[in-house]
Amino acid sequence: MKHTLTYFTLPLAALLLTGCATEEPASQEPKVEQQTVQKEAPEKAEPVQKETEPEDSAPSKKADTKSAEPTVPASNKALFSGYKQINVDGGDLSGNREPNVVVDIGFGDRKYWAFTNEHAQLVKVVAKEITLQHDSEEMTSSGRYYSDEAKVPGVEDAQLDEGHIIADSLGGVSNAYNITPQDSTLNRYGDQAYMENSIRQAGDVTDFEAIITYPDTKTQIPSHYQYTYTLKGNVIVDDFDNVNPDEVNAALGLTENEDKTAEAAVETAPAPDTGDVSTVDTDGNGQVTIQEAKDAGFRMPITDDHWLYSHMRDNDQDGMVGE
C-alpha cells in the first residue's frame, strides 16, 4: 500500500508543477501592452511639431515688410547727405523750421527740395524741373493752394511779404520751408516777380536752384537771393538783394529817367478800347494774355480795378497782371 501511494503522488506533483509553469507567460502579457503604448507616443506627437512651422516662418514675412519701406532714391543720396529728410504739411503756418533737414515743398507729385542749415535757416531750394500750376489742381477761389502762408519770424514787418521761393503759380507750397520774409516791392514788382513771370511764360524750366544767404546766424530774414535755372536751353542767373528796388533806383538817380520814359510811352500809345474784349482777345479764346494786351496798346501792369483785369490771369493773385 505504501508503494502504491508513492507512485500516485509523484505524477500528481509533476502535473501541478507543469500547470504553474504554463501560467507565468499569461501573467506577463499586460506588461507587453504597456511597452507598446509607450513606443507609439512619439508618433502621435509629430502633428504638434508640424503646427509650429508657421511660427518659424514668421520672421521672413517681417523682413519682407521692412524691405518694402520707402527709401531715399539713389539719385538723391549724395544730395541729401548730411540732412535728415522729414515731411511737413504744405499748408503748415507755424513758421518753425528744423535744422539740417530736407523737405519736399512741391505741391502734389512735384519734387522740389528745400534745405536748412544748422541754424534752421532756409538756405537752398532745388528742383530738377518746374511744373506750372494747372487748373485741374485743388485751389482756393483766389487761385492759391492754401489760404495763407507760414508765419516765419520777420513777416510781421509791414514792409515784408511772406515771399515764396517757388511761387504757387510754379507749384510751390506755403509752409516755412518755402517762405522767407521778403521786401514787398521786390516780391510784387521787382526782380522776384520778374523771375516768376519769366518762368510762367516759358513754361519749360529745368535745373532750378535758389541759394539764400543771411546777414547773421540768428535772423530768418535773408539779405540776398541767387536763382539759377535753365530756360529754353539757356542758363539764367538772377542775383539780387532783399531790398526795395525803388529805393535803390532812387538812390542811384534812375527813378526820374524811368518816369519820363513811362510818360512818353503813354503819350505815344494808341488809345485802347474801353470795354470790348474782342478787340484785345485776338485768338478769341476768352482769355487775354499779356502780349495781347500790350499789342492792343495797354500799359503794364493791369491792376484789379481795370476792366481788362477780369479777362486776364493773375497767377500770383497780387491784384496785378504783367508786373
- Pair (287, 164) in one structural domain: no
> Quick one: pLDDT at residue 183?
97
The 10s digit of each residue's pLDDT in 97-134 is 999 999 999 999 999 999 999 999 999 999 999 999 99
Amino acid in position 310: S
How confident is the prediction for the chain on average, in pLDDT?
78
Specify the pTM. 0.60
pLDDT at 17 over 60: no
Report the SS3 class of residue 9. Answer: helix
Per the structure, the complete domain to which residue 227 belongs is given by: 74-249
The 10s digit of each residue's pLDDT in 41-61 is 445 444 444 444 444 443 333
Mean pLDDT value across residues 150-165: 97
Q: Give the separation between CA 96 and CA 54, rounded to whole angstroms.
A: 49
> How many other CB atoms are found less than 10 A from the CB of residue 297?
13
CATH number assigned to the domain comprising residue 140: 3.40.570.10
Rounding to the nearest 10 degrees, give the CA dihedral for residues 26, 27, 30, 33: -50
Instruction: Name the grid cell of 111.
Output: 519734387
- Pair (185, 89) in one structural domain: yes
pLDDT at 22 over 70: no
- Pair (219, 291) in one structural domain: no
Name the least confident of 74-88, 236-250, 286-300. 286-300
> Quick one: pLDDT at residue 71?
53
> Quick one: pLDDT at residue 117?
98
Q: Looking at the domain assignment, is residue 12 inside a domain?
A: no
pLDDT at 308 over 90: no
Q: Looking at the domain assignment, is residue 309 inside a domain?
A: yes
Q: Give the separation between CA 281 and CA 295, rounded to whole angstroms.
A: 10
- Pair (238, 300) in one structural domain: no
- Better-scored residue on pLDDT, 279 or 132: 132
pLDDT at 20 over 90: no
DSSP secondary structure string, 111-123? -EEEEE-TT--EE
Q: Looking at the domain assignment, is residue 101 inside a domain?
A: yes
pLDDT at 62 over 70: no
The 10s digit of each residue's pLDDT in 180-218 is 999 999 999 999 999 999 999 988 899 999 999 999 999
Domain boundary among 191, 217, 249: 249
Q: Looking at the domain assignment, is residue 66 inside a domain?
A: no
